[in-house]
């Protein structure tokens, strides 16, 4: 048995034959052509066909994985139509009299390398996309169709292009294992959306003999085992059965209230970044949205969203949630979430820099536009608003002044709005330590444990080197959470957790004892957390 290690991006176990996905680029050879103009026409016809296919893929994937995840195919469409890309291919055919497949392969590799060299993670990820569109054009030129598996298989590939992932017949995919890729790549996100056990960064050399060999994928620990012995296979099969049973057991919790063993009702909500994730909120039976990361609206564009654009999104979310709570967090841009058009400029230490509420308070025109949209949408559902990265009482007072003036403006203009609840995120040690004072000024607290951990422990959440220091179980973090919950309750307001730690079922019992009133987690974590709450002793004071 051979064992290879990688990183799990979606946990689960699989047993089956390996289906090795080959790249059409491996079949490309270089040869000279006599008529470059005819070859360019061949390229153009293939490019047009690729564009048509991508248009179709976009439509299919919108219904399968939602608009936000399908947006990648819009990017592919744009890349295929990019003048620089097209002229680079045609130039190569014309000047070197080479075949179109070769020109597309070289251009794709060249563009991919350029994306990789850019000092921007988002642009680096586009490298796989430009290779993906080039492979599609090459496949068309070679008259090849995709070599998808015809029986349920473990898909092994160098890297998986999103277009392959989304188009594959899911009943034929037991697991994904790739040599490259990153946990936040679109393919990893798609794999998670489709609930398929997946490992990336698996250190294995892809040789043709791997195709058809038996494998066990343990995506809980990130292990790929090839030619497994019978004990390993048997153990994996038992594991698959247990996973299926625990999924079924969770299904039974659908529609059940989230109450502790001693009868305290907990609000169990979901975190989302866009309207398109609403489907998974209801699929996973979340009772509301505890964190709508509104900055994703700003991140997916090249200029500021208008009031009307934002209003439409917030109103749609509120209406679709049909009376269930929706907590919209105002713009939390900065640190790892940057947009060029805000011209924030580079900072030595962006996590401690100009971000979130700091930007909003110093650029009130941006903040006011968003507040108008949120308060107006409040008239169409059960919306609350919360403010990120608070460090002082003064900020809360300044926010209140702006909110009051925005409301007065809406009254003057005769525009309908609702006087919605306003909360703050407790995600800095300063806010946690001042939570007794802050609690008297707001309607609720939501603890952002991701940032609270990094600031408390002085360990950058983005820096893999200090990952072991960034431990949210550290007693200092837990003390701040407990103190915040106590101070919230003393002031008569509720206190939730919307950071990743809220989904950590090892701590559910602890949180219930602290009296945490709300947990807002990734949609797929809703049912596991409900299970943990049902089994927990509770003991906190209700709000």
Q: Catalytic site residues? A: 186, 498
**C-alpha distances out from residue 539 to 487, 509, 517, Å:** 16, 9, 11
Size of the site for ligand PEP (CB under 6 A): 10
CB of 460 to ligand PEP, least distance (A): 13
Residues 431-490, interacting with Mg ion (CB under 5 A): 448, 451
Tell me 470's DSSP state.
-
Position among 294, 449, 484, 536 found at the interface with ligand PEP (CB under 6 A): 449
Nearest residue to 495 (alpha-carbon basis) of 224, 194, 266, 213? 266
DSSP state, residue 265: B
In the complex with ligand PEP, which residue's Cβ is closer, 104 or 525?
Answer: 525
Q: Does 183 bind ligand PEP (CB under 6 A)?
A: no
Binding test (CB under 6 A) with ligand PEP, winner from 183, 232, 450, 543: 450
Cα–Cα distance measured from residue 387 to residue 373, given in angstroms and rounded to the nearest whole number: 15
Instruction: List the single partner that 484 binds among ligand PEP, Mg ion, none, CB under 5 to 8 Å by kind.
Output: none
In the list Mg ion, ligand PEP, none, the entry touching 538 (Cβ below 5 to 8 angstroms by class) is: none
Task: Between 92 and 485, name the residue whose CB sits nearer to ligand PEP.
Answer: 485
Contact criterion met (CB below 8 Å) for 492 and 515: no
332 lies in the binding site for ligand PEP (CB under 6 A): yes
Provide the β-strand partners of residue 272: 292
Return phi, psi of residue 178, to 5°: -125, 155
Helix (H, G, I), strand (E, B) or coil at 325: coil
Q: Which stretch binds ligand PEP (CB under 6 A): 217-225, 245-253, 316-324, 447-455?
A: 447-455
Closer residue to Mg ion in complex, CB, 85/455: 455
Strand order in the sheet with 2-5: 2-5, 223-226, 214-218, 13-20, 153-157, 173-178, 198-200, 7-10
Residues in contact with ligand PEP, shown as a per-residue x/- string from 466 to 495 under the rule CB under 6 A: ------------------------------
Q: For residue 153, what are the contacts with CB-CB under 8 A and spacing of at least 6?
A: 16, 17, 18, 19, 172, 173, 174
Q: Which of 90, 287, 395, 427 binds Mg ion (CB under 5 A)?
A: 427
Alpha-carbon gap, residue 508 to 260, rounded angstroms: 10
Euclidean distance between CA atoms 122 and 104, whole angstroms: 23
Residue 187 is a binding residue for ligand PEP (CB under 6 A): no
Position among 112, 498, 503, 516 found at the interface with ligand PEP (CB under 6 A): 498
Nearest-approach distance from CB 336 to Mg ion, in angstroms? 10
- 346: its two tokens: 């580079």
CA torsion 57-62-66-67 (nearest 10°) is 100
Q: Which of left, alpha, beta for 42 (phi over 0: left; psi -120 to 50: alpha)?
A: alpha
Q: Residues touching Mg ion: how many (CB under 5 A)?
A: 3
Q: Which of 277, 427, 504, 517 binds ligand PEP (CB under 6 A)?
A: 427
Q: Which of ligand PEP, Mg ion, none does residue 282 bind to, with CB < 5 to 8 Å depending on kind? A: none
Under rule CB under 6 A, residue 460 binds ligand PEP: no
Indicate whether 448 belongs to the interface with ligand PEP (CB under 6 A).
yes
Six token digits for residue 2:
């051979």
Cβ distance 1 to 232 under 8 Å? yes
* Partner from Mg ion, ligand PEP, none binding residue 372, C-beta < 5-8 Å depending on class: none
Binding part of the chain for ligand PEP, among 7-15, 255-263, 360-368, 443-451 by CB under 6 A, reads: 443-451
Interface pick for ligand PEP out of 42, 164, 293, 531 (rule CB under 6 A):
293
Q: Are strands 7-10 and 198-200 parallel, antiparallel or unpaired?
A: antiparallel
Q: How far is the CB of 528 from Mg ion (least distance, A)?
A: 22
Restricting to residues 65-124, name those near ligand PEP by CB under 6 A.
none
186 vs 293 by CB, closer to ligand PEP: 293
Q: How many helices (H) and strands (E) does the chain have?
A: 20, 16
Nearest distance from C-beta of residue 391 to Mg ion, angstroms: 12
In angstroms, the Cα distances linking 174 to 12, 152, 156, 191 are 10, 6, 11, 11
540 binds, among Mg ion, ligand PEP, none (CB under 5 to 8 A by kind): none
Q: Which residues bind ligand PEP (CB under 6 A)?
A: 291, 293, 332, 427, 448-451, 498-499
């Amino acid at each position: 048995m051979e064992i290879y290690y990688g990183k799990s991006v979606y946990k689960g176990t699989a047993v089956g034959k390996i289906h090795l996905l080959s790249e059409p680029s491996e079949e490309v050879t270089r040869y000279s052509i006599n008529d470059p103009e005819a070859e360019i026409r061949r390229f153009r016809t293939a490019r047009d066909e690729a564009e048509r296919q991508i248009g179709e893929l976009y439509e299919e994937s919108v219904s399968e994985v939602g608009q936000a995840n399908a947006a990648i195919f819009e990017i592919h469409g744009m890349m295929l139509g990019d003048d620089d890309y097209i002229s680079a291919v045609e130039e190569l055919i014309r000047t070197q009299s080479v075949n179109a497949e070769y020109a597309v392969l070289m251009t794709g590799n060249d563009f991919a390398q350029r994306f990789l060299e850019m000092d921007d993670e988002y642009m680096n990820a586009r490298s796989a996309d430009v290779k993906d569109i080039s492979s599609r054009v090459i496949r068309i030129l070679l008259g090849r169709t995709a070599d998808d598996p015809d029986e349920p298989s473990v898909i092994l590939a160098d890297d998986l292009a999103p277009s392959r992932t989304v188009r594959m017949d899911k009943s034929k995919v037991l697991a994904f294992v790739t040599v490259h890729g990153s946990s936040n790549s679109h393919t990893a996100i798609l794999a998670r959306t489709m609930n398929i056990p997946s490992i990336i960064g698996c250190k294995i050399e892809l040789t043709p003999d791997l195709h058809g060999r038996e494998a066990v994928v343990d995506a809980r620990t990130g292990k790929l085992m090839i030619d497994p012995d019978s004990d390993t296979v048997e153990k994996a099969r038992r594991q698959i059965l247990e996973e299926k049973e625990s999924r079924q057991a969770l299904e039974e919790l659908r529609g059940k209230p989230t109450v502790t063993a001693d009868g305290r009702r907990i609000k169990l909500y979901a975190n989302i970044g866009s309207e398109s994730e609403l489907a998974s909120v209801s699929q996973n039976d979340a009772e509301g949205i505890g964190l709508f990361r509104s900055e994703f609206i700003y991140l997916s564009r090249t200029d500021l969203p208008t009031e009307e654009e934002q209003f439409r999104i917030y109103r749609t979310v509120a209406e679709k949630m049909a009376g269930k709570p929706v907590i919209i967090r105002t713009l939390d841009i900065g640190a790892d979430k940057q947009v060029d058009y805000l011209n924030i400029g580079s900072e030595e230490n962006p996590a401690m820099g100009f971000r979130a509420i700091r930007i909003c308070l110093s650029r009130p025109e941006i903040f006011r536009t968003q507040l108008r949209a949120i308060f107006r949408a409040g008239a169409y559902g059960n919306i609350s608003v919360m403010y990120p990265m608070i460090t002082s009482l003064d900020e809360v007072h300044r926010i209140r002044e702006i909110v009051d003036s925005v409301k007065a403006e809406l009254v003057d203009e005769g525009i309908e709005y609702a006087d919605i609840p306003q909360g703050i995120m407790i995600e800095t040690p300063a806010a946690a330590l001042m939570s007794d004072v802050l609690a008297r000024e707001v309607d609720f607290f939501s603890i952002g444990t991701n940032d609270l951990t990094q600031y408390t422990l002085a360990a950058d959440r983005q820096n893999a080197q200090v990952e072991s220091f960034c431990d949210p179980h550290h007693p200092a973090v837990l003390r701040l959470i407990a103190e915040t919950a106590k101070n919230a309750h003393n002031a008569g307001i509720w206190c939730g957790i919307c950071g990743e730690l809220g989904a950590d079922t090892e701590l559910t019992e602890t949180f219930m004892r602290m009296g945490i009133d709300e947990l807002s987690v990734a949609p797929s974590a809703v049912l596991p957390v409900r299970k943990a709450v049902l089994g927990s002793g509770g003991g906190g004071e209700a709000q």
